Amino acid sequence: MRKFAFGTSVLGLAAGFMFGMGSAVSAAEPTLSEADFEEAKLLYFQRCAGCHGAERKGATGKSLEPKATQKLGQKRLEKIITLGTEGGMNNFDDIFSKEQISKLATFIQMEPPKPSEMSLEDMKKSVKIYVKPEDYVKKPMHGRNWENFFVVILRDAGKMAIIDGDTKEVLSKVDTGYAVHVTKETSDGRFWYTIGRDGKQNKIDLWMDPPQVVAESQIAYDARDIAVSHYGEWKDKYVIAGGYWPPHFVISDAVTMEPLKVVSTRGVNVDGAFVNEARVAAIYNTPKSPSWVVAVKELGQVWQVDYSDLENLRIEQMDSHKFLHDGFFDPTQKYFQIAANASNRMEFFDTTTRKFVGSLETGKMPHPGPGANWTDEKCGPVGATGHIGEGMITVWGNDPEGHPDQAWKTCYKTETDGAGLFIRTHPNTQYVFMDQPKHPEPEIQQSIQIMDKKTRKIVKTIRVTDREKSIALHGEFNADGSELWVSVWARGGKADWMNGEIVVYDTKTLEEKARIKGLETPTGKFNVYNRVHHVT
């Protein structure tokens, strides 16, 4: 509203607000050649977008929009990328060259390129069938005890290893999407679905000899989690996967991997502000109802998505806190427990009433991974998480029916040497196992700590590896809980990959039993029996 007058002043104001007033363009905006811009864009997507967002508005990491980065300037940005920060950002001088760091520092001072959308039609075109469903084998062809197989992420190789838990033989390494975050199974444990960081979802058949990928499709450019429908008449009918970008979830046919339905998760967060890049973190099937829980990270909401009628899709948008990450169920399979890591909280939902039921302040940045449940002598049934931000195990009551006074309240906390990612236990062991890969010191990040459920104290520390640039992480049990498998991730670049291994411990004696060698960057492991039977 400058030299002219039109309409009511109310409307003038509205239009002024609506489009924003004229914005200044910096005369000295940094620039890159087209080739350098494309390179920086790719590096940013691979290594930075996960924390800072495809649109650079920030999430786990800070906002990297030009108004913020231009203030810091080229030199300071290069230093931050090179050395990392106190706030938790890694150093990148072992991953990027000096030239690449310089390009990235310039790139993040320029206007972020607008990320592309992906339509259902695009996704449908991406379907690849390697084995037709009518050609699926009718029984396990290898005669092995496949219910004790381990499905193992070989992260940086973009593969999954299938390992025989009885014999410790590596049966196959199958190609999947890049940097798989997680894999989920059909209700009988035969088929396993992976989701890559590149949004590719693959379906693996454990009955083939050797186990093999039978179908794939792509549902996003960046993604983190996947789940299968397990309830009632919809058992093993649908697969759902969540996108980081585009921010949405996609329901596909679990047989053919054909995408069927896309639902955007862009929305208004629990503070009332619109978030375009509202990403899907964790997704789980809810055993007590025909639905999945979908954690929409930046919104601070868990959406319970009912799969009983895709054309009249029912969703409960359950408010909690930001930013949601990963979660697990209580032993009754009724309550969903998930970390809101930016709020230093665990959040609790009743998936039968489809409502938020509680919130617990934990240590700094809780991260349960697949989580741990057991029964404490004083508190009754409990759940537990480790933390990315500090060396601590937080244990809470999770039995509101039997122990209402303890429910969603801290039972106790036990300190560990270093911050970690994965806490695990099993009904057949008296111990709780916690890794510590987020600690900067090699001797700690290469060790796991073991807590006694009875005394609540750390009773042993095991150095899993002492190889340079290797870290120990993620425990998983064999079917009867007599063994704990821990990954050793050799991080010294591609030439070092094959030095990765899995170390197997006896869960009674805590002695080493075996080493499974020649595994490229193993991370998460999934035992068929334990996952099918929800053993956490």
Q: Which of residues 162-221 bind a copy of itself (CB under 8 A)?
A: 177-178, 197-200, 218, 221
Contact call for residues 162 and 170 (beta carbons, < 8 A)? yes
Catalytic residue at 89? yes
- Contact between 14 and a copy of itself by CB under 8 A: the answer reads yes
Which residue type is seen at 136? Y
Residue 379 bears catalytic tag: no
* List 248, 367, 403, 474, catalytic entry: 367
267 binds a copy of itself (CB under 8 A): yes
Reading the block at residue 255, the tokens are: 């047989």
Nearer to a copy of itself among residue 30 and residue 113 (C-beta): 113
Site for a copy of itself in 296-325 (CB under 8 A): 309, 311-319
CB of 354 to a copy of itself, least distance (A): 6
Total interface residues for a copy of itself by CB under 8 A: 75
Residues 26-65 that bind a copy of itself (CB under 8 A): 34-35, 37-39, 41-43, 45-46, 54
DSSP 427-482: TT-SEEEE--TTSSSHHHHTEEEEEETTT-SEEEEEE----TTEEEEEEEE-TTSS
Of these, 273, 495, 509, 511, which contacts a copy of itself (CB under 8 A)? 273
- Decide: is 361 part of the binding site for a copy of itself (CB under 8 A): no
Angstrom distance (rounded) from CA 187 to CA 185: 6
- The CA distance from 20 to 25, in Å, is 14
Identify which of residues 149 and 303 has a Cβ nearer to a copy of itself in the complex: 303
Joined tokens for residue 461: 């520390």
Span of 73-81, 272-280, 496-504, 520-528 interacting with a copy of itself by CB under 8 A:
272-280
> By CB under 8 A, is residue 128 in contact with a copy of itself?
no
Peptide bond into 246 cis (omega under 30): yes
Segment holding 71, helix H or strand E: helix 66-83
Identify whether the C-beta of residue 70 lies closer than 8 Å to the C-beta of residue 76.
no
**411 part of the active site:** no
264 interacts with a copy of itself by CB under 8 A: yes
Smallest separation, CB 158 to a copy of itself (Å): 6
State the Cα torsion 332-328-520-460 to the nearest 10°: -80
Part of the chain binding a copy of itself (CB under 8 A), chosen from 18-26, 426-434, 443-451, 498-506:
18-26
> Do residues 486 and 437 make contact, with C-beta atoms less than 8 angstroms apart?
no
The answer to whether 51 is a known catalytic residue is yes
If binding is defined by CB under 8 A, does position 67 make contact with a copy of itself?
no
What letter represents residue 146's amino acid?
W
Positions annotated as catalytic residues are 48, 51-52, 89, 325, 367
